[in-house]
């Protein structure tokens, strides 16, 4: 049976019109020689071959033009954010004016909540999911405390029904219908980082707004993974990082969306710095802050040019490949894995991620049926053979076949090694 899987993988790779994009990346080597089967793009995307030269261009600009680099050259540093937002508009389905590239994700969540969490009267709760990424949970707790509120009372954590793995959108709707008048903000992930479940963003935004609450999305595991239409989603704000599916390097500068309905001058309160000034007054060094219209008005400092460069390289690759085509291949890759697991490995592996492809990106979250110890053992077994997944406590192996650089054959290798492990351990 595994032979059939290999034949299928080879055939699918040969037909794959995006296959050549793999050559645009550095694939890390296995210790025993050959290339890794790298399935950790949900955590840190691989380095593309174009990254180095985009950074070098900025080093040269700094070396040769020094302070004039702000205003001269092909891409003056002054315009760096605007240029990136033009590129990001297509990928995010937003207007460039609704986007800004700045800081990092946890910082941005905090800054955006300063603006979008405005507790008033009995409406002072923040609704999050029970298994939120720790940083998001800390940010929410600190925002509540900043307003003198007690997280134990005002942070509402909604989890799956007893015995279930996933949270249904209908649970969020039910909660907001019955308790929505106490909720000032919903902060929700686009894709849940442990299970890989993708949420229906427009549906959640509609439910929050019907209850009179603001809603923001954390899109760390969504962007570059699933086609995004931020304007259609209707959310008030969103934030994400660029180092997961967007391959822009460890700690890459983050991105934010502020819906244009919040762009009116002197609208929302915010924390400010000189770089958020309206462009016409930026260098007049005026006494009073006059925010730039749009998301750019949330910037504080002048941007880290060397750190922004890889994002430019990465977005160019996404433009070239096309998000719709990437999604098509992404689903084909994960469907191949799901089929392989269900037909060959169902006795030892459980898939936590929704089977319905509309409810997931490329990540599959797996649990070894024999329990946590066996799960850890399998994870290490794969790692030692150059098959790179990750382990999430207590018992989840995450595997993400990324359409820009993973092949169907990588997926086959993954399945084969698990099958060998089963034969070896008698699991």
DSSP assignments along 372-409, one per residue? HHHHHHHHHHHHHTTEE-EEETTTEEEEB--TTT--HH
What residue has token string 């066996």?
374
Quick check: 129 binds ligand PLP (CB under 6 A)?
no
113 near ligand PLP, judged by CB under 6 A: no
Nearer to ligand PLP by Cβ, of 244 and 329: the residue is: 244
| CB-CB neighbours of 177 under 10 Å | 11
- Specify the residue, 105 or 309, whose C-beta has the smaller distance to ligand PLP: 105
**Per CB under 6 A, does 374 bind ligand PLP?**
no
Residue selected from 69, 180, 189, 297 as contacting ligand PLP according to rule CB under 6 A: 189
User: For ligand PLP, which is the closer residue by CB, 104 or 357?
Assistant: 104
- One of 50, 95, 104, 374 touching ligand PLP (CB under 6 A): 104
Helix (H) or strand (E) holding 188: strand 183-189
Which of 408, 412, 414, 410 has its CA nearest to residue 16? 408
d(CA 307, CA 160) in angstroms, rounded, equals 38
Q: Which of these segments, 28-36, 130-138, 277-285, 360-368, binds ligand PLP (CB under 6 A)? A: 130-138
- Asked if 330 contacts 225 with a C-beta cutoff of 8 angstroms, the reply is yes
**Can you tell me which of 111, 220, 307, 364 binds ligand PLP, judged by CB under 6 A?**
220
CB of 388 to ligand PLP, least distance (A): 17
The single residue among 125, 221, 312, 422 that binds ligand PLP, judged by CB under 6 A, is: 221
Span from 131-139, 156-164, 195-203, 294-302 in contact with ligand PLP (CB under 6 A): 131-139
Residues near 179 by beta carbon (within 8 Å), at least 6 away in sequence: 125, 156
Q: Least distance (Å) from ligand PLP to the CB of residue 226? A: 14
Our finding on whether 295 is near ligand PLP (CB under 6 A) is: no
193 binds ligand PLP per the rule CB under 6 A: yes
217 binding ligand PLP? (CB under 6 A): no
Q: Which of residues 223-252 bind ligand PLP (CB under 6 A)?
A: 241
Contact 215, 208 (CB under 8 A): yes
262 by Cβ neighbours in 10 Å (0-12 / 13-18 / 19+) ranks as middle
Q: What is the strand order of the sheet 183-189 is part of?
A: 99-101, 255-258, 237-240, 214-218, 183-189, 125-129, 155-158
> Applying CB under 6 A, which residues contact ligand PLP?
104-106, 133, 135-136, 189, 193, 218, 220-221, 241
């Amino acid at each position: 049976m595994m032979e059939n899987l290999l034949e299928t993988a080879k055939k699918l790779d040969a037909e794959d019109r995006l296959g050549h994009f793999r050559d645009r990346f550095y694939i890390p080597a296995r210790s025993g020689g050959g290339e890794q089967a790298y399935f950790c793009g949900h955590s840190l995307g691989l380095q593309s071959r174009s990254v180095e030269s985009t950074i070098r261009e900025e080093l040269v600009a700094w070396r040769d033009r020094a302070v004039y680099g702000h205003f001269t050259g092909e891409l003056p540093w002054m315009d760096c954010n605007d240029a990136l937002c033009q590129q990001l508009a297509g990928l995010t389905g937003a207007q460039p004016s609704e986007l800004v590239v700045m800081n990092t994700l946890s910082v941005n969540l905090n800054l955006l909540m300063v603006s979008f969490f405005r507790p008033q009267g009995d409406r002072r709760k923040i609704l999050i999911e029970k298994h939120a990424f720790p940083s998001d949970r800390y940010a929410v707790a600190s925002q509540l405390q900043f307003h003198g509120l007690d997280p134990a009372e005002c942070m509402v954590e909604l989890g799956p029904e007893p015995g279930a793995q996933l949270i249904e959108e209908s649970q969020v709707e039910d909660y907001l219908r019955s308790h929505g008048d106490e909720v000032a903000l919903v902060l929700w992930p686009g894709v849940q980082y442990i299970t890989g479940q993708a949420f229906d963003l427009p549906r959640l935004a509609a439910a929050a707004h019907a209850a009179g609450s603001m809603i923001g999305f954390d899109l760390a595991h969504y962007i570059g993974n699933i086609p995004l239409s931020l304007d259609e989603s209707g959310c008030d704000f969103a934030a994400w990082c660029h180092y997961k599916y967007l391959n822009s390097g460890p700690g890459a500068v983050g991105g934010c969306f502020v819906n244009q309905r919040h762009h009116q001058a002197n609208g929302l309160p915010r924390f400010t710095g000189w770089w958020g000034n309206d462009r016409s007054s930026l260098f007049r060094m005026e006494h009073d802050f006059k925010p730039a219209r749009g998301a750019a008005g949330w910037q504080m400092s002048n941007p880290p040019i060397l750190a922004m460069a890889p994002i430019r390289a990465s977005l160019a690759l996404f433009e070239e490949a096309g998000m719709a085509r990437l999604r098509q291949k992404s689903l084909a890759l994960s469907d191949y894995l799901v089929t392989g697991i269900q037909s060959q490995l169902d006795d030892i592996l459980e898939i936590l991620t929704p089977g319905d492809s509309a409810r997931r990106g490329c990540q599959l979250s797996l649990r070894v049926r024999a329990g946590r110890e066996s799960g850890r053992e399998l994870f290490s077994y794969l790692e030692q053979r150059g098959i790179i997944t990750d382990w999430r406590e207590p018992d989840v192996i995450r595997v993400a076949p990324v359409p820009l650089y993973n092949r169907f054959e990588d997926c086959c290798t993954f399945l084969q090694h698990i099958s060998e492990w089963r034969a070896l351990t008698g699991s």
